[in-house]
Structure 1
Amino acid sequence: MGVCKSYCMHAFIEIEEYHSDTDLGELVQLVTRCGMLEQSSFICFNADDLRKVRAINRQVTLGFLSAKPPSIDDLKLVERQRAV
């Protein structure tokens, strides 16, 4: 975070497996405390994790990762998770 903040860079934070819901909340709080929420995107291959992050903070930028071309369901997911 420090390097991104120092150089006004955007941080892409990939959410990996093996974490708890509490960990996701702490991650969002850490990024917020660093003053980097507006300069960060939370990215993940797991749509459920992105939904959880969205529930923690409606303003975070999300990125859904996929190893295949997006399906109609993927596109619907992206639309539902837009920040308000």
Structure 2
Amino acid sequence: MGRNTSLTSRKDACSTADELLHNLDRSKSHIIRVIEGFETIKFWSKFKSWPQSSNLSVTEDSRGKVAALLKRQGVNVKGILKA
């Protein structure tokens, strides 16, 4: 999810992924949402030709927003801002 992705686009992407998994008779555990600026090495290995942006910075404010997003999704984020 890009940081400038609209709420409508985020909802549409989730709905499309749900529909795809339903049509393939697979569980939702096959979907992993990656947040811009928090991509893993495994993620980037799938996009070798995609230029990586190095101008993103992680601030206390952005970490708080990610923590709030994860908390809404049911993830236990206790102590996440201390990390």
Does TM, normalized by the shorter one, top 0.5?
Answer: no
Q: What is the TM-score normalised by the length of structure 2? A: 0.41
Greater relative CO (CA pairs within 8 A, separation 6+)? 1
Q: What is the TM-score normalised by the length of structure 1? A: 0.40
Q: Hey, which of these two has a bigger chunk of strand by percent?
A: 1
